[in-house]
Chains A and B, each alone.
Chain A
Amino acid sequence: MSLDSTLHALLFHRSRREAFLRGELDLPADEAQALSVVDVDQLEQASRLACEGILTRSHRGSGSLLDAFARTIAAWRSLEHDAIIARAQHATPLFELAAAFTESRHFGGYSALPTCAGGASLEEAFFRFADETAIGDAPTRLAEYAAAILRALVVTPKPSFRIPDFVHRAPGGYFAVLDAGPTLVAALDGRFVTGPITPFLAALLDAREAPDRVAARFGVDARGLETASGELRRLRLVE
């Protein structure tokens, strides 16, 4: 550990902070000396601000994590209420969630501007954390994650963060097809577009299979295929 790693842990890892406050964090002598003057109350307040700020910090296009994952977080609130009350008096539901997230390995993989360099977005980190800890239901988590990323791509077509594999490039921008529905979620020519689509259109957008084979599989004739393809071209989802 170096002093910056220790400070990071004190701010974002509750278990490490609590160990430090109990005097149980194993530190080199020079770090222990530098940290011996830390005001415990100030550290606690700064940590709470930093952790809650991760949930409430708003990003252009997608808003905050609270906005983007509203239904997933609502599910967490309803399940965790008793556990929250059992915690320290000053704890709030929001802080409990923030503390659990910022201590996760997924948060560790996230980095904000200007040092992100193609790393995970905050939404990706939160999605993976929620997925691993089974917060909410899987289709809702994925739908909220996809919508957040596509909304972000509407205003930042050249993002600094990594674009997830399930998001595809299109002539007009980006799109994803979610199994549930199926549902199209897209950032096309500066607009956010989402809605249910037919399984046939979903299969056409899946570039792994040639359009004529897809049409044959769905029993669609050449005229039907041309109509569907024309609509996808009109939306600038395909060439």
Chain B
Amino acid sequence: MTLLPPSPSRLELGIGLDLRWGKEPGFWHDPVRGDVVSADVVAFLDRHAADFGHLFVSWQPRDRAELDARDYFPAYDALFTDVGASYPIRALHHTALNLGALEPYDRAEILEMTNALIARYGFAWVNEDLGLWSIHGKPLPYPLPPYLCEPGLRAAIRNVCEVRAALRAPLLVEFPGFSDGMAFVIGRLHAYDFFRVVAEEADTAVTLDTGHLLSYQWLRGRRGKDLLDELDRLPLERCFEIHLSGCEIAGDRFLDLHHGVLLDAQLELLDRLLALCPKVRAVTYEDPVFDAAGMLAPAAARSFECLRRASRRWGQA
């Protein structure tokens, strides 16, 4: 039976933040207090505590030390202490599981560290793109899609099975991005079919990112209403979470910018997916841009208001 996160039990809106080290918004090292979360993050989360039910943070390597979860405790402790009782449902967005890798990839240490974080913070799920974050140990600036061919499919299934079995929280595998200039396709399998087969064969729950889905169809040359086609090829029954990060169309380029400004097509796709995914419980607004006082940038604020209005309708439903 597919392992789904136990909470949230009802559909809700949440927030996802990519907290990098040494940059705002993110974590930084204070000579006196040690590792802390930047004030803009705390201000943003305080300001929107009533709007979001869940919070995920993206794992980023703190430094180049040997992996040890204890190195991450001070910063994560600071974050969750600062948000207090708000955001009772917390999750982790991984960036190092390399689920699309074809080559052998030793995950023992990263899984051990992840499980220690799960144990300490009670993460309700761990989410990760079905893609390549590195190849032959060389980091990539943006995860590449998996190899859309039979060997790539078998490897992805094997990887997801390994990670799902090892993690002490449910794994949500995310449909990867195909943003212009950062991704290209290898192999002839349809990415929706590839993703569905991986989810089914590895028996995992999934995350559908609206920008990632649109970017794939855009890369295939689809435009307008056609961008929303073929949703039935996705593992809709297994979808627990939907992501909305800011995207932009510049000329004929589809850009997954993570700036919080949503395309109308993303909101339309969200509506379609909510109607098609019976087990979806989490809609996550991902990486919006905000200022030092935690105020959303004006363009992002308009997108967020659309989302907030929509979430009130879910509550009534």
Contacts and interface: CB of A to CB of B under 8 A. Distances in A.
B35 to A, nearest CB: 11
Contacts of B151: 3, 30
Interface of chain B, main secondary structure = loop
A224 interface: no
A88 interface: no
B135 interface: yes
Nearest to B106: A115
B67 A111 contact: no
Contacts of B188: 33-34, 37
Given A8-B138, A46-B181, A34 B109 contact: no
A29 interface: no
A133 interface: no
A38 B136 contact: no
Interface stretch (B56-64, B257-265, B269-277, B297-305): B56-64
Given A34-B188, A61-B63, A115-B105, A46 B137 contact: no
B208 interface: no
A161 B184 CA distance: 31
Contact of B184 (A33, A46, A112): A46
A46 B187 contact: no
A37 B147 CA distance: 12
Contacts of A210: none
Contacts of A8: 135-136, 138
A43 to B, nearest CB: 5
Contacts of A115: 105-106, 134, 137
Contacts of A46: 144, 181-184
Contacts of B62: 60
Interface in B174-190: 180-188
- Most chain A CB atoms below 10 A, which of B63, B144, B184, B186: B184
A231 B249 CA distance: 63
A43 B22 CA distance: 31
Given A11-B135, A37-B187, A114-B96, A160 B101 contact: no
Residue of A107, A111, A113 with most chain B CB atoms under a 10 A cut-off: A113
Contact of A116 (B137, B144, B183): B137
A82 interface: no
Interface in A92-131: 102, 107-108, 110-117, 119, 121
A58 B148 CA distance: 31
Interface in A12-57: 12, 30, 33-35, 37-39, 42-43, 45-46, 49-50, 53-54, 57
B102 interface: yes
Nearest to B63: A60
A114 B103 contact: no
Q: Which of B105, B110, B140 has the most CB of A within 10 A?
A: B140
Given A4-B101, A50-B141, A114 B110 contact: yes
B181 A121 contact: no
B73 to A, nearest CB: 16
B74 interface: no
Contacts of A42: 180-181, 183-184, 219
A4 B102 contact: yes
A45 B67 contact: no
Interface in A152-168: 152, 155-161
B250 interface: no
A217 interface: no
Interface string B77-91: 000000000000000
Interface of B: 21-22, 29, 61-68, 96, 101-103, 105-107, 109-110, 134-142, 144, 147-149, 151-152, 180-188, 219
Given A50-B140, A53-B140, 19 more contacts: A2-B102, A3-B151, A4-B101, A7-B135, A11-B135, A30-B151, A37-B185, A37-B187, A38-B186, A59-B64, A60-B62, A60-B63, A108-B136, A110-B138, A111-B137, A116-B64, A155-B29, A156-B64, A159-B66
17 contacts: A3-B102, A11-B138, A33-B149, A39-B184, A45-B181, A45-B182, A46-B181, A46-B182, A54-B139, A111-B136, A111-B137, A111-B138, A112-B139, A113-B64, A114-B61, A116-B137, A158-B66
Closest A-B pairs by Cβ, 4 of them: A111-B137, A42-B184, A53-B141, A45-B181
